[in-house]
Structure 1
């Protein structure tokens, strides 16, 4: 099993931390680029074990941290840079993903084990929305998979008096239930969405997807309603849905994840996703 780390420059000069895992037992293999969700990061929970599981099936697995996710190269699994977190927005994340895709094409152009043109995207939660948007605008992507994805970014902004308070103060805070930190969101977050609403409208852009898509959702998701999956399936021309019974938003994983065996819901998540990618793979 090959595991490597890399770092590239992201938005506003901030670093994008990357790691990838693959097996040398396979040649010409597919590669997955994984996008984490809100208050997430590439080393959360059991993502590393999921990467190994994909690699064992002959799919290279790359995961990365968005440039403004809130961590630093020195402390990648904690939120030491809350100013960056507050300055994050969907446009920056889309552009970061584009930079990672560009890097993958260059990095693996001569690698006999990984085909740099066999690019697939997986996104969890908010990252699911990001991969649908990127696939709609980037035809280099072959297949798209979402895990517990949101269907509409606009709906998730504060509303009513909360919105007016945000606009007036220029910032609102959300408590991180795991760390206890109050995490800032500056009003630029909404202003950027408003300025780029067409590009950032998941359901509208998903109508234009030429790639096949797999929509996976847990039936006991406490963070993103199951109906979000149905809304995505209604507009994506060539999509499949898979519901995982009793799975919560993170498929029974947690952070830190110290067990050696993945939960059954996570194992099902891996199987259905691997099968989807390898189906009709050349």
Structure 2
């Protein structure tokens, strides 16, 4: 079964949306990548709005994308590929993120963006849907423009893990209600994964049961030391801001506090009366005070980081 699944679900497509800031190619300061969380996807709730606002406020190209095994297929809005979700691991997400980084650094991608700017009279950010992994080419040089990564929830852990291994390739990390302890499975889920090879997790929004395969637990157990984010932050060498709701999920605020104790340079911003999604919902019903504050703090931090690069 495992080999058959690898054949069926081993191929990768990384679908994404690029937000170009107004002002033309010469005004672009760099790139921001946005990583969604567990049971998340690039078009969920606040992601399109937040990406558009951050492009406007920072003059960064902003890319939000779906991890290849997040379970959301070509329709972009439903978990139509549950068997991919079942085998999604942090290791796979690290590989996907590395592929997107290669895309951003590639000459082909830079030329593509220049053509977009040349052909469009920009007054607002332009959303270009659906680049995918078939566009990816090996980077033949490193861009001199900085690349930042913003991760929400589990995406925050994915961003931090990437930065801990590739600090020279990124200019800074932002987490929104980020995960610091990657092992969030219950004892019952683990027991089921060990004894039957399969468990499930309920999507609270839709009520659907999404499958989990033993490979997700094997990934955590095989990479125990690599995935100890809090312990490893004492050697971190990258700028970091953690934006968190005061009413975030249990244990998440405690994890951020422990992380900051390990890495004093990290900034930690608490949004009053904000939950895990800053009171935003899916389908998106409009912005909220809490979401606006998260965007504003993030934009200010990014602009400060950009200014520091020029001093």
Q: CA deviation at 1:233?
A: 1.1
Q: CA deviation at 1:162?
A: 4.8
Counterpart CA distance in 1 for 2:251 and 2:44 is 18
Tell me the TM-score normalized by structure 1.
Answer: 0.88
Match of 1:126 among 145, 150, 154: 154
How many residue pairs are counted as aligned between the two chains? 266
3-state SS of paired residue (1:19): strand
Q: 8 Å contact 2:34–2:151 — kept in the other structure?
A: yes
Match of 2:292 among 234, 251, 267: 267
Over 3 Å counting, the alpha-carbon distance change for 1:280 and 1:255 in structure 2 is closer
Q: Deviations over 1:21-68 (max 9, x none)?
A: 022415241211000001000000021111111111112211100000
Counterpart CA distance in 2 for 1:34 and 1:116 is 20
Counterpart CA distance in 1 for 2:234 and 2:16 is 30
Q: CA deviation at 1:136?
A: 0.9
3-state SS of paired residue (2:67): coil
User: What are the ranges of 5 or more consecutive residues in structure 2 without an aligned counterpart?
Assistant: 1-8, 118-142
Q: 8 Å contact 2:178–2:252 — kept in the other structure?
A: no
Looking at secondary structure, tell me which structure has more helix per residue: 2
Q: Would you say 1:151 and 2:180 are equivalent positions?
A: yes
3-state SS of paired residue (1:16): coil
User: What are the ranges of 5 or more consecutive residues in structure 1 without an aligned counterpart?
Assistant: 1-10
Counterparts of 1:33-182 in structure 2 under 5 Å? 33-57=33-57, 58-73=59-74, 75-106=75-106, 107-109=108-110, 117-138=145-166, 139-154=168-183, 156-159=184-187, 162-182=189-209
Counterpart CA distance in 1 for 2:53 and 2:28 is 18
What value does the CA root-mean-square deviation take over the aligned residues?
1.9
Q: 8 Å contact 1:87–1:188 — kept in the other structure?
A: yes
Tell me the TM-score normalized by structure 2.
Answer: 0.81
Q: Would you say 1:218 and 2:216 are equivalent positions?
A: no
Counterparts of 1:234-273 in structure 2 under 5 Å? 234-259=261-286, 262-273=287-298
Q: 8 Å contact 1:123–1:131 — kept in the other structure?
A: yes
Looking at secondary structure, tell me which structure has more strand per residue: 1
